[in-house]
Structure 1
Amino acid sequence: MLKASKSGSQSFGSQESNNGRFGDIVLQPDTTKYKLHAVIGKGSFENVTVHLAQHIPSGQKIAIKCIDIENSPVEFNIFQDEVILCRQMCHENIAKYLCTFVNNNELWSVMPLLGYGSARDVLHAYFKTGLPETAIAYILRDVLNALEYLHHRGIIHRSVRASHILIGGNGSVCLSGLRKVYHMFHHGRKWNQVHNYPEACSADLQWLSPEILEQNLSGYDTKSDIYSLGITSWELANGYPPFEDMPVTQMLLEKVNGTKPMLLDCTTISDLTGEEHAQHNAELENGGIDIVALAKARKFSSHFHSLIDRCLEKNPKCRPSAEGLLSDPMFKHLKKRSSEALPNLLQPLTPINLANLANVSDDKAVDSVINSMEQMDVTEEWSF
């Protein structure tokens, strides 16, 4: 239930329970306690913006997601369910809502500032042809930890993709995009297969599993997230998701027929011929990337190839679980936490972080700091 706060805002639940904590700082559901600065990201829809903000009493820099409820293509209860779920989750690799309340026609969600934005932001800003494999391994390990946590609780994410993987300025990784989750527990019983299909999923089609797209009597389970993880792994490695150049109907047919996208490196690429060669030359003339030359110059590990191949099995029963993948050989060599390794692996990108903003208090100064950080493209989705 919504409850009015002193500022005229409305909060979820009781005033006491809706107060969030950020370290030793208490975050209140009161708009007068926050100052919005520059827009640092866009959401899945035009009515969603992510702002760099300041908690006025403490001076703490945070992020606030603002959703224009009146102009939203999604019902309000969908956002409400997402907020409730986020506050129930307690895992370091799942995005947190520290405090959430309604201000006039907007839903405000206060979150920690995650300086690199999403993995998609990182790709588009500098790593246009893909991330280093070691960086991908650290990111995937943390995403798998989040999925294992969700799956153990009977929750299917249904929207695993690079834009829903957020990276903090310290290298921490967390999974967001919980708006489309589905619970396998109903009336105290866990269903082995479910048949609920996500609404407004056109933006997720490239990542969704064949069994979700088929919408048949067999249904789907948590293994559908593993397929999406395979597509996301391909996306992180190549800089863009597979099937991107295909009409939707052809993409659906390829998936249903079991077509597996392969990593582009010297072991999988072949010379282009005929129409493909002409199209490739045209893309180069228009300033495109020479994908063939790039692929021939790099080689991914056999463990990475194997992981993607197993994740993209058409038969979900043949895919590994999130728990099983955590012991995959691809992650055996990772000896550090992501926060200890990723900042170096993502250089030369500079995140928006608290050190950058420690002495910044006014809008123009904040904008100046942000504009000096070339990695942020606010036209890209930064979905919490």
Structure 2
Amino acid sequence: MSFLDCSCISSHSQVQPISIEDQYEDVSQQCLGSDVPVCSVSGSADDLSSLSSDPSHYHLLSELGKGFSNLSCVSMARHKPTGRLVAVKTTNLDECTEEELLHLMNEVLLSRLFRHPNLLTSRLVFSSNSQLWVLSPLMDYGSADSLLRSFFPDGMSESLIAYLLYGVLRALEYLHHMGYVHRGVKASHILLSGDGRVCLSGLQSVYSMMREGKRVKAVFDMPQYSPALLPWLSPELLRQDLHGYGVKTDIYSLGIVACELVSGRVPFQDMPPTLMLLQKLRGVHCCLLDVPLGELGGLKVSRSGVDSGIGESVTTGGSLTRTTTTTTTTTTAERPQSPGPKNHSATLHNLVQLCLQQQPEHRPSASVLLGHAFFKQVKRHTRDSFLSLMYPALPLSSPPDTPPSCPTTPSSHTPSPTEEQTPPDGLWDFS
């Protein structure tokens, strides 16, 4: 049953939620290999089946951001009968072109197909008066990009970076084994819930690696609306040659995200698109600069126009040039590492180097990277200990009278009936 068949595009009257689970209920079992553990379906936090499909039952509290080329508006809303806070994305279907409608259809169908705790999916979709409503759980802390801009302009601590990237890798492992490549991994698509669950969004760029029931090694499609994704795209995807690209393109994007979370700056972002393409194809790599905190603002911009997170290899074969580091131990047995001087660990350097290999066959898979030494700290600590590193950032649903000197815990995430909060530092980026 297609999205078009549900009359969600042409009808101006309210319809029932789209139900396609029956069609795809066994897909994950068919696509996942026997050696891959089947991930449990997201728990009650993602269960929106008890909510109604009547727009009048929702009170839109504040606008969180824009998406889908500014055709969609994402808002925080409260379901009046239950008081539950959700995220609502509304799109005016009358303003969409036929191509945009098909693109929107694909995103909705994929969002309802996937079931994984680290993927942000939509289980409730309905239309009313030419407006498409897509409901998803509210990610109270917003995106990693908004957190960088508002609270961590010089980058996050390694422990927090490890926690976020580990959740992204779990989502990528699931997608890749399902036969899909994400193609849109970036900080604005990494969301964090109030209870510390990391979710990967941006399913509009997901592309299938399955052809006639068989998995292919390479595909050749260029992502829609790719100009906004250029800094994160891999060389082989940008090259658009006969070799194509595969799921390892997501691993390269993960390496770019790691640099983004470390420095608070997006590598390659300040470069003209043509120069960016040439630099990537020539083997220019991102490198982590080990500098004392406070000196980041004085770093010089290279002649090519890139920010200080870019360094060109000086060795043959385009290998990554790394800075010699002296790792300082700032952790205790009770809690993970707090933000400190920019002395990056050898394991983080190695992770970035592995992800940004020029040749995709030299990059590890998502499953292999989950066992990387950099992520050992994730297994040693609890969600609460990582959430303590989020301070001074507070979840949107936290009470307004939370003491400023006390970082929030999941137990304090009870919404206030009159609460109407807006994201700090402007609207969030959902593109």
TM-score by length of 2: 0.75
Q: CA deviation at 1:2?
A: 1.3
For residues 54-105 of structure 1, give each alpha carbon's deviation from its aligned partner in whole angstroms, at most 9, with x where no partner exists: 1122121111111222334661121121111111111100002130112223
Residue 380 (structure 1) aligned with residue 428 (structure 2): yes
Question: For the structure 1 residues 56 and 15, does the alpha-carbon distance in structure 2 shift closer, same or farther, using more than 3 Å as the test?
Answer: farther
Aligned with residue 172 of structure 1, among 186, 192, 197 = 197
Instruction: Give the alignment's Cα RMSD to 1 decimal.
Output: 3.1
Tell which deviates more after alignment, 52-61 or 315-324.
52-61
Aligned with residue 14 of structure 2, among 9, 12, 24 = 9
Aligned with residue 200 of structure 1, among 203, 225, 244 = 225
Question: For the structure 1 residues 15 and 152, does the alpha-carbon distance in structure 2 shift closer, same or farther, using more than 3 Å as the test?
Answer: closer
The residue matched to 2:156 in structure 1 has which SS? coil
2: CA distance, partners of 1:274 / 1:30? 53
Q: CA deviation at 1:23?
A: 5.0
Question: For the structure 1 residues 225 and 42, does the alpha-carbon distance in structure 2 shift closer, same or farther, using more than 3 Å as the test?
Answer: same
* Equivalent residue, structure 1, for 2:57: 33
Aligned AA (1:183): S
Aligned with residue 286 of structure 2, among 241, 251, 261 = 261
Question: For the structure 1 residues 220 and 210, does the alpha-carbon distance in structure 2 shift closer, same or farther, using more than 3 Å as the test?
Answer: same
Q: Say whether the 8 Å CA contact 1:160–1:225 is kept in structure 2.
A: yes
Q: CA deviation at 1:107?
A: 1.5
1: CA distance, partners of 2:127 / 2:48? 24
Q: CA deviation at 1:310?
A: 1.1
Quote the sequence identity (%).
37
1: CA distance, partners of 2:211 / 2:185? 23
Residue 182 (structure 1) aligned with residue 212 (structure 2): no
For residues 288-324 of structure 1, give each alpha carbon's deviation from its aligned partner in whole angstroms, at most 9, with x where no partner exists: xxxxxxxx95211011011111111110001110000
2: CA distance, partners of 1:199 / 1:25? 31
For residues 212-258 of structure 1, give each alpha carbon's deviation from its aligned partner in whole angstroms, at most 9, with x where no partner exists: 10100000000000000000111111102101221111111110111
1: CA distance, partners of 2:384 / 2:391? 13
Q: CA deviation at 1:343?
A: 1.6
Q: Say whether the 8 Å CA contact 1:67–1:108 is kept in structure 2.
A: yes
Residue 333 (structure 1) aligned with residue 405 (structure 2): no
- Matched length: 355
* Equivalent residue, structure 2, for 1:292: none
TM-score by length of 1: 0.84
Question: For the structure 1 residues 188 and 237, does the alpha-carbon distance in structure 2 shift closer, same or farther, using more than 3 Å as the test?
Answer: same
For residues 105-162 of structure 1, give each alpha carbon's deviation from its aligned partner in whole angstroms, at most 9, with x where no partner exists: 3211111111111110100111011111100000000100000000011100000000
Matches within 5 A, 1:220-299: 220-266=245-291, 297-299=341-343
Matches within 5 A, 1:101-250: 101-250=126-275
2: CA distance, partners of 1:216 / 1:15? 36
* Equivalent residue, structure 2, for 1:289: none
* Equivalent residue, structure 2, for 1:283: none
Instruction: Name stretches of at least 5 consecutive residues in structure 2 with no aligned partner.
Output: 24-42, 308-339, 401-412
Q: Say whether the 8 Å CA contact 2:20–2:112 is kept in structure 1.
A: no
Q: CA deviation at 1:264?
A: 2.3
Residue 306 (structure 1) aligned with residue 311 (structure 2): no
